[in-house]
Structure 1
Amino acid sequence: MLFKTVLAVIGSKDQAADIHRAIEVATKLGAHLSVLAVDLSLPPTVGDYPVGTAWLDNRVEDIKALHEAADKAKAACETAGIPFDLERYYTEKAFLADTVFRRALYADLVVMGDKTRAVSAILNSVVDGAVFDAQRPMLLLPGADRPVEKVKTVMLAWNSRAEAGRAAREAIDFLSNAESVHVVLVDPDASYQASGGEPGADVAAFLARHGVNVTVDQLPSGGRPVEDILRNHAVEIGADLIVMGAYGHSRLRERVFGGVTQSMLENPPVPVLIAR
């Protein structure tokens, strides 16, 4: 596998499921697991100045909880017997993306479980720092009730854009080792300039040269949201992994995601690998 270092970002609350999922992924990949335990400090409100003891007490409790979560994550890694390192950061939201960026530079893959993703401020900062700034692929893991299976069937969401192309390249190891890969195009643009003579044929040929067993699925939306089409098709083909580009743009350091990206970030039906 090409993924030799996996960076797992976990929070300080309900982190047990997320760290165990990250350990599971690192073990399957035979990779070193780099754990980043984070929590966000709440700035005092205007009415709190001068800063009162209640706000300081909350910070002390937050830091204590973060240290406890990090200690439990360390124990879980030691029990699993995998190579790992661990750091903890208690920081403000404005600085978290940069912290993740600097750690993601030295990772091949970033993973996040559903408990950590439930905190939107952490989720958006991690995507900002890892996917947009460090240009690293991110694996979004579903709930603990859905184990990380061997990747036999992959669905590649394709629209002939740069983000989709980068996602395909980042996931090429998964694609070439899968039993089948479905390249899915929703309402594809049939113009030659957009998708070649036949939508999906170019990327299928590219993947086939890597030994990928590829099928092209052109799907009509019928006016339904693209994310719904992708979710339903992933279930129909029994996909173990969805690969897709991350779409959005920067606005004053806040990322604004497209509907498909945001939907998959918040509630992926199966593990989703996104890249920018």
Structure 2
Amino acid sequence: MKNIQKVLLPLNGTSNAEAALATALLFARQFGGHIAGLHVRADSRDVAPLAGEGLSGAMVEDMMSAAEREGSRRALAVREIFGQFTAANGVKVTDMIPPFSGNPVGSASASLVTMTGREHEVVTYRARLSDVTVVPHPDSGEEISSSETLHAILFDSGRPVVIAPRRVPATAGRRICIAWNGTSESTAALHHILPWAAEAEAVRILYSGDYQRRGPEARDAADYLTIHGIHADLVEFGDPDETVGASLLAACHDFGADMLAMGAYSHSRLRQLILGGVTRHVLENAEIPVLMSR
């Protein structure tokens, strides 16, 4: 079974960073992999086009200087929390991503690089050559569903993304739920969860008539996992008094799941932003790591 060797971890600040670092470390240790920490500093020159007319050159310079100072402060804060976490957990820190980690299962290495640019572009490009990207839970005072970097990875990297929970998880990937609705998005999630499912203690496929779209049924998904030597039981979820998203998370809780895999945005993102939806509810309410794919 293909395993996980490169775990990309974008860090843009300290909000929820510890839980994201812990989630990435659980994955890296499970497969003897490497955590590729990445901090993207905004280019202070990008402030100028936003300044608009009516501002003097001196005012624009002041704005750029302020942006530069803020960028330096954030970069220092990220390096401090990264250094503290790796030291406290005995993680070997390297200057760069090794060509092959060679870490024995149960151990991990890590590196941290700082780049300048537009975060959603830089992270997405790096994600394309990573096995999985772990992002901190994006609830730092903003609407989760509008996180530009998270959606850029989902829609434009071709790789899975794991949204870390707000709190440090004790385990991840031992008891896995897979949300199935027959779409290409849920199929991508099924493929991407295989390395974890192959080593999990228990795997459950969750399905619902209200969630199912045109495509293979849950039984077909279970048969596919069987071909890979993975046994998964099937459970239909649903509660007439709850939304699909709430029912899905309740079913995960009943199973004692410590990880959920699901497709993201089977409906258009705009529709989900306006009307709500399963993806949006899970993003905003999940208390376990959630692997999402498109």
- Contact preservation (8 Å) 2:11, 2:17: no
| Separation in structure 2 between the aligned mates of residue 250 and residue 261 of structure 1, nearest angstrom | 9
Q: Return the offset for 1:225.
A: 1.1
Secondary structure at the aligned position of 1:208 is classed as helix
Structure 2 counterpart of 1:217, from 235, 241, 244: 235
- Give the TM-score normalised by structure 2: 0.77
Could you report, residue by residue, the CA deviation over 1:89-128 in whole angstroms, capped at 9, with x for unpaired residues?
454xxx33221121112210000122x5535589732223
- 1:134 matched to 2:135? The reply is no
| Residue 182 of structure 1: aligned partner | 204
Structure 2 counterpart of 1:69, from 61, 77, 83: 77
Could you report, residue by residue, the CA deviation over 1:46-93 in whole angstroms, capped at 9, with x for unpaired residues?
4772252652343133112122024225524652214333222454xx
- 1:58 matched to 2:58? The reply is no
Superposed counterparts of 1:222-233, under 5 Å: 222=240, 224-233=242-251
| Separation in structure 1 between the aligned mates of residue 78 and residue 164 of structure 2, nearest angstrom | 20
Counterpart residue type for residue 259 of structure 1 = G
Change (3 A) 1:60 1:203: same
- 1:84 matched to 2:84? The reply is no
- 1:163 matched to 2:181? The reply is no
- Contact preservation (8 Å) 2:145, 2:273: no
Unaligned 5+ residue runs, structure 1?
none
Secondary structure at the aligned position of 2:198 is classed as helix
- Contact preservation (8 Å) 2:203, 2:231: yes
- 1:102 matched to 2:110? The reply is no
Secondary structure at the aligned position of 1:68 is classed as helix
Counterpart residue type for residue 27 of structure 1 = R
Change (3 A) 1:45 1:259: farther
Could you report, residue by residue, the CA deviation over 1:10-66 in whole angstroms, capped at 9, with x for unpaired residues?
122346513344334323332111111135578455477225265234313311212
The range that moved more, 146-155 or 173-182, is 146-155
| Residue 28 of structure 2: aligned partner | 26
| Residue 269 of structure 1: aligned partner | 287
- Contact preservation (8 Å) 1:100, 1:126: yes
The range that moved more, 169-178 or 13-22, is 13-22
| Separation in structure 2 between the aligned mates of residue 16 and residue 157 of structure 1, nearest angstrom | 26
- Contact preservation (8 Å) 2:144, 2:284: no
| Separation in structure 2 between the aligned mates of residue 88 and residue 234 of structure 1, nearest angstrom | 36
Unaligned 5+ residue runs, structure 2?
93-107
- Contact preservation (8 Å) 1:185, 1:219: yes
| Separation in structure 1 between the aligned mates of residue 85 and residue 129 of structure 2, nearest angstrom | 19
| Separation in structure 1 between the aligned mates of residue 175 and residue 228 of structure 2, nearest angstrom | 16
| Residue 3 of structure 1: aligned partner | 4
| Separation in structure 1 between the aligned mates of residue 54 and residue 282 of structure 2, nearest angstrom | 38
| Separation in structure 2 between the aligned mates of residue 123 and residue 36 of structure 1, nearest angstrom | 21
| Separation in structure 1 between the aligned mates of residue 85 and residue 211 of structure 2, nearest angstrom | 47
The range that moved more, 100-109 or 20-29, is 20-29
- 1:173 matched to 2:199? The reply is no
Superposed counterparts of 1:179-258, under 5 Å: 179-187=201-209, 194=214, 199-222=217-240, 224-247=242-265, 249=268
- Contact preservation (8 Å) 1:207, 1:214: yes
User: Which structure has more strand as a fraction of its residues?
Assistant: 1
Q: Return the offset for 1:213.
A: 1.9
Could you report, residue by residue, the CA deviation over 1:204-236 in whole angstroms, capped at 9, with x for unpaired residues?
111112122211112344263111001111111
Counterpart residue type for residue 177 of structure 2 = M
Counterpart residue type for residue 56 of structure 2 = P
| Separation in structure 2 between the aligned mates of residue 165 and residue 155 of structure 1, nearest angstrom | 14
Q: Return the offset for 1:270.
A: 1.0
